[in-house]
A and B are shown apart, each in its own frame.
Chain A
Amino acid sequence: MAETVIKLQLNQQQLELLDRTIARGVARDRVALVRLALREYAAARKAETKAKPNDREPVR
């Protein structure tokens, strides 16, 4: 199946935060960072759903 392209709209401050995060070695580039965020965010929600099935808001 074909990939789906989502066009993120980010301002220069948001991009700066991403780039500083990348500079820490978290991901190789902006796209990889977004993919990592998706994987880790989804994993965290899955873990929460197991722990608290009726609470959508992340536990901080």
Chain B
Amino acid sequence: MSDRRVLFEHILEPGTGKAIELLKGQILRIEQLEGGQCADFNCFNLNDYKEFMHCGRTRTVHGFHPTKGTFMWSAPPRERAMLYILEDTVGHNDVLFPRCSAYVYEASYGFSVHTNCHDIQAEAQREYGLTPDDVHDSFNLFMCTGVDQDGHAYMTRQTTKAGDYVDLLALMDVLAVPNVCGADVMRTSNFALKPLKLTVFAATDADLARVPKTPVLASQRTPKDFRNPTIKADRPLRRDPSYKSEFPNTPIRVTELPIALSPEELATFRSVKRTDIYDEDDAAALRDLLFSWWEERFLQAHAGAPSIESE
């Protein structure tokens, strides 16, 4: 750590954010100055803003609370690891909640204007020509959240102290956009807005060596693979009269595969088949069994997430 060269420092004052060009191999540290402050974070591929960090994909791969040793992934069809969380002194981050917005503060609290993460993000990103529509769901650092028994996400207070930090290592050139969360009338930042410190370091060889390998797959597509690689430049949607659909693997064709079960095999099948779901439809129950077995035996990571070579 002490070998890292400092490239940039900035104090994020309450109510503000900052768009930073974070190049591959650089580390962005987001640090508590007083403690108790949530930071929202967006990022985009610096050379193609249509590739951006995707909380949905990230939560599928790493769960609701990404921390040290996990990645921030870009949205399909790119699905590349954009950032690696190299250090996290707290371990309470969130990808459940979207950024807070002006609507929330007007609808729930009656504010005509109030600091909010969407508008702060939009203002910071405007420096690079992005619009308020380009803000996407945020990675919420230091934010303590969970899901209650009714399935609702909740947030609670945090216990971060001055000096706590998260280090994000760029795995590609990105526009990184952290902001001080605007929520002072919620528990998110313990009912106060405090500054945060940003530091950009050059990663050392030791830092880079800590990044696990991620899969490189043909399905990680870029515009050169798109049937329509052109970014639409106007707002109305109009039908393309020359459009002919090319959905992958269609038409879906179903084939019958007869399976002859001995009396013993049939008894085994009946002892485990999911009659609670399939009732007397043995064909559907056997298909379920077949692919459930396949998942148990061959899937290496949860919910179809890519298998990642760990540290």
- Residues of A with Cβ closer than 8 Å to B? 1, 3-15, 17-18, 21, 30-31, 33-35, 37-42, 44-45, 58, 60
Residue of B nearest to A45 (CB): B272
Q: Are B292 and A8 in contact (CB under 8 A)?
A: no
Residue of A nearest to B248 (CB): A13
B140 to chain A, nearest CB (A): 27
Chain A CB within 8 A of B90 CB? no
Residue numbers in B under 8 Å from A7 (CB-CB): 256-259, 283
**Would you give the 0/1 interface string for B287-298, flagging 1 where the beta carbon is closer than 8 Å to chain A?**
101111111111
Q: Count A-B pairs with CB separation below 8 Å.
A: 105
Bound-state CA distance A5–B269 (Å) is 12
Q: Are A41 and B289 in contact (CB under 8 A)?
A: yes
Interface residues on B, range: 35 or more
Residue numbers in A under 8 Å from B286 (CB-CB): 6, 8, 34, 38
Bound-state CA distance A21–B291 (Å) is 12
Instruction: Answer whether A42 and B268 are a contact pair too, CB < 8 Å, given A6-B282, A58-B296.
Output: yes
* Given A7-B258, A11-B252, A41-B272: 6 more A-B contacts, CB < 8 Å: A8-B256, A8-B259, A30-B257, A37-B289, A39-B268, A58-B296
B227 to chain A, nearest CB (A): 21
Instruction: Answer whether A10 and B266 are a contact pair too, CB < 8 Å, given A41-B296, A58-B292.
Output: no
**Would you give the 0/1 interface string for B162-176, flagging 1 where the beta carbon is closer than 8 Å to chain A?**
000000000000000
Q: Which of B256, B263, B265, B302 contacts A38 (CB 8 A)?
A: B265
Residue of B nearest to A35 (CB): B265
Q: Are B271 and A9 in contact (CB under 8 A)?
A: no
Bound-state CA distance A15–B254 (Å) is 9
B272 to chain A, nearest CB (A): 5
Residue of A nearest to B253 (CB): A12
Residue numbers in A under 8 Å from B260 (CB-CB): 3-5, 31
Q: Which of A3, A9, A40 contacts B261 (CB 8 A)?
A: A3
Instruction: Answer whether A34 and B253 are a contact pair too, CB < 8 Å, given A7-B283, A42-B268.
Output: no
Q: Are A38 and B294 in contact (CB under 8 A)?
A: no
Instruction: Answer whether A40 and B256 are a contact pair too, CB < 8 Å, given A6-B261, A8-B283.
Output: no
Residue numbers in A under 8 Å from B271 (CB-CB): 42, 45
14 A-B pairs in the complex with CB atoms less than 8 angstroms apart:
A3-B262, A4-B266, A5-B261, A6-B259, A6-B282, A7-B257, A8-B286, A9-B255, A9-B257, A10-B287, A31-B260, A35-B259, A38-B269, A38-B286
